[in-house]
Amino acid sequence: MNNIKACIFDLDGVIVDTAVYHYKAWKRLANSLGFDFTEHQNEQLKGVSRVRSLELILGWGGVTKTAEEQEVLATQKNTWYMEMVNQMKPDEILPGAKEFVEVCRKAGIKIALGSASKNSMTILNKIGITNLFDAVIDGNKVSKAKPDPEVFLEGAKALSVAPEECVVFEDAIAGVEAAKAGGMKVVGIGQPGVLDADLVISGLDKMTLDKLFKL
Ligand code: G6P
Ligand code: MG
């Protein structure tokens, strides 16, 4: 038995599969600029802020844009992304996610969201699980992007727990690094070969309290 007191969940790719919507919107933007990008490159965008993602994509396409043009492009991507988000229903919560959060809550474990997305609250409201979170730290509340641990450290602070008492759930390479940099345990959601986490599972439907306390 360890002293886990809180779980901090990333949103995109952990609670909901908005990673697919981000990909579709970025791909549409890249294609409109005359180039494409690969699934492998897309992997590097997970957990990365909107502004930084655009910089990376423009770099891959060999395209240079002014700061003003970049703002227009980032807004366009977000408009396309939100068109998909606004169609979301509660049945889009990833398998086992809501159930695992509820099991944690019943066990007295505090719950926070730790996401780079500025659209986090809209998404939580759309899928109807906002009330399951004791704290929500999103892209509007932090200034340093993952792999900086700020978002998770702010989550721990909001829950009044120490970093070493927290377990982070992440699907992004940058997010796993951020959790480790914050001195937290981390469960990777995805493939073991990609994520260097304390435990890697394919989804929250594979997570149990037993596994949590064995970390
Ligand atoms: C998450 C996603 C990223 C996304 C970032 C910002 O971390 O994994 O793909 O770029 O949030 O999201 P936003 O909704 O603010 O554009
Ligand atoms: Mg994610």
User: Tokens at residue 133, please?
Assistant: 């979170």
Q: Return the ligand 1 atom nearest residue 120 CA.
A: 14
Average pLDDT of the residues of the chain: 95
The tens digit of pLDDT for each residue in 13-64 reads 999 999 889 999 999 999 999 999 888 898 888 888 899 999 999 999 999 9
Closest of 19, 28, 204, 38 to residue 119, by C-alpha: 19
184: pLDDT strictly greater than 60: yes
Q: Is 171 touching ligand 1 by the criterion CB < 6 Å?
A: no
C-alpha 156/C-alpha 159 separation (Å) is: 5
Whose atoms come closest to the Cα of 170: which ligand? 2
Q: Is 53 touching ligand 1 by the criterion CB < 6 Å?
A: yes
**Residue 10 catalytic?**
yes
b/e 17-42 (16+ beta carbons within 10 angstroms → b)? bbbebbbebbbebbeeeeeebeeeeb
Q: Is 139 touching ligand 1 by the criterion CB < 6 Å?
A: yes
**Residue 198 catalytic?**
no
Q: Which domains does the chain have, with CATH numbers?
A: 6-16+93-213 (3.40.50.1000), 19-85 (1.10.150.240)
Q: Return the ligand 1 atom nearest residue 138 CA.
A: 15
Query: φ, ψ for residue 59 (rounded to 5)?
Result: -65, -45
Whose atoms come closest to the Cα of 169: which ligand? 2
User: Tokens at residue 136, please?
Assistant: 């929500």
